[in-house]
């Protein structure tokens, strides 16, 4: 359904004296989301996950330079097509709550999203009511404006807005922070249902724990690229089928597993280095890792970008 190949993204910045600086964010990224599939993208804060979502939707800021190929349902996802499919065939649950229209009542926004995705007015009303019920928004909130809702309610309104239509691909960017555990687990199982009903779901998060239960496949994101693509089952049996040392470290950090902190750092802009992005932190590194970025390859039914896997 969605196929991303060799996606590279940088920002142009002008510094004093009009010196142009390129700030790399994404680097040679490949990712596929199929019909019926829920793919979790797990990565540290600031590693470029939201920008990846924005790249697919065509809503990057003007100083972003994007290269690579994107396909949606087998045809190139050009800028024109992105505009045509946004909110219709591809829906986003944004990380930022500022994506709601501040001047439109919540109920109208959810109904408008349903209509945009191709359902008639009557159905839109029914769908809006069902979405409100699913995300525990009392019917009376339909008449309120976003500023009149609590932060948690705004998040639930965003969930309702993105899932009310018929989008074939749902991209959820950290959709559940600050929500009650019950609503978190309900929205995750709703994403699973959507995938089971023939949609594709891309779920972006920094919590591996939460997505593991619902995802088919996990893409581990670091330093602007995907280090490993593993099936959710690869995390079973003590994670012994995992390919990359970083993914194993993520596995170790799951509740109930032995926690090692040595591997983790905050990823900042411009931190892409000559060799492996994990060179500084990796316990399994060799000299090659310092000078040559590992090339991605298929391994044991998954994907890995590591010289030593």
Among 27, 37, 39, 48, binds ligand ATP (CB under 6 A): 48
Per residue, what are the HEC states of 134-165? Answer: HCCCCHHHHHCCHHHCCHHHHHHHHHHHHHCC
Residue nearest to Ni ion (CB): 50
For the window 83-102, what string marks contact with ligand ATP as x by the rule CB under 6 A?
------------x-------
Q: Which of 1, 25, 39, 56 binds ligand ATP (CB under 6 A)?
A: 25
Is residue 46 a contact residue for ligand ATP (CB under 6 A)? Answer: yes
Which CB atom, from 43 or from 107, has the smaller least distance to Ni ion? 43
Contact 161, 110 (CB under 8 A): yes
Strands (E), the chain: 2-15, 19-33, 38-43, 64-72, 75-76, 90-93, 169-173, 200-205, 217-222, 225-231, 297-299, 302-304
95 binds Ni ion (CB under 5 A): yes
Least CB distance to ligand ATP at residue 44 (A): 7
Pick out residues in 251-270 that bind ligand ATP (CB under 6 A). Answer: 268-269
Q: How many residues bind ligand ATP (CB under 6 A)?
A: 18
HSE-CB at 21 with a 13 A cutoff on CA atoms is 10
d(CA 77, CA 98): 26
Which one, 63 or 265, has the nearer CB to ligand ATP? 63
Single out the residue of 234, 256, 231, 260 nearest to residue 246, CA to CA.
260
Considering only 44-52, 69-77, 288-296, 299-307, which stretch makes contact with ligand ATP by CB under 6 A?
44-52
Residues 210, 215: Cα–Cα separation, whole Å: 9
Q: Check the CA dihedral 179-180-186-192 and report its sign.
A: positive
Answer yes or no whether residue 50 interacts with Ni ion by CB under 5 A. yes
Interface region with ligand ATP, contact rule CB under 6 A, candidates 30-38, 43-51, 117-125, 161-169: 43-51
Residue placing its CB nearer to ligand ATP in the complex, 59 or 232? 59
**Which segment (47-55, 226-234, 236-244, 298-306) binds ligand ATP by CB under 6 A?**
47-55
Residue 61, binding choice from ligand ATP, Ni ion, none, Cβ under 5 to 8 Å by partner class: ligand ATP
In this structure, what token pair is assigned to residue 6? 């060799």
Cβ atoms of 172 and 136 within 8 Å: the answer is no
Minimum CB distance to ligand ATP, residue 43 (Å): 6
DSSP lists the bridge partners of residue 225 as 222
Q: Which residues bind ligand ATP (CB under 6 A)?
A: 11, 23, 25, 43, 45-51, 61, 63, 95, 174, 206, 268-269
């Amino acid at each position: 359904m969605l196929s991303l190949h060799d996606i590279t993204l940088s920002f142009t910045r002008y510094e004093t004296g009009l010196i142009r600086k390129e700030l790399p964010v994404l680097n040679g990224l490949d990712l596929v989301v199929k019909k019926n599939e829920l793919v979790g993208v797990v990565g540290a804060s600031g590693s470029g996950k939201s920008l990846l979502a924005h790249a697919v939707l065509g809503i990057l800021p003007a100083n972003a330079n994007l290269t690579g190929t994107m396909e949606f349902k087998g045809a190139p996802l050009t800028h024109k097509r992105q505009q045509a499919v946004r909110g219709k065939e591809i829906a986003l649950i944004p990380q930022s709550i500022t994506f709601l229209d501040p001047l439109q009542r919540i109920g109208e926004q959810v109904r408008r999203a349903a209509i945009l995705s191709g359902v008639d007015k009557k159905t839109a009303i029914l769908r809006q009511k069902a979405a409100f019920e699913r995300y525990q928004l009392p019917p009376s909130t339909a008449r309120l404006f976003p500023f009149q809702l609590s932060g948690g309610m705004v998040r639930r309104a965003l969930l309702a807005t993105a899932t009310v239509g018929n989008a074939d691909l749902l991209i959820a960017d950290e959709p559940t922070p600050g929500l009650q555990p019950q609503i978190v687990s309900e929205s995750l199982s709703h994403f699973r249902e959507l995938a089971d009903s023939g949609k594709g779901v891309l779920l972006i998060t920094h919590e591996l724990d939460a997505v593991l239960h619902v995802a088919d496949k996990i893409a581990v994101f670091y330093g602007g690229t995907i280090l490993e693509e593993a099936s959710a089952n690869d995390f079973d049996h003590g994670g012994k089928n995992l390919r990359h040392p970083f993914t194993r470290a993520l596995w170790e950090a799951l509740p109930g597993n032995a926690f090692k902190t040595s591997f983790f750092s905050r990823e900042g802009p411009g931190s892409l280095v000559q060799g492996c992005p994990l060179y500084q932190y990796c316990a399994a590194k060799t000299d090659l890792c310092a000078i040559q970025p590992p090339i991605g390859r298929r391994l044991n039914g998954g994907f890995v970008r590591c010289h030593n896997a």
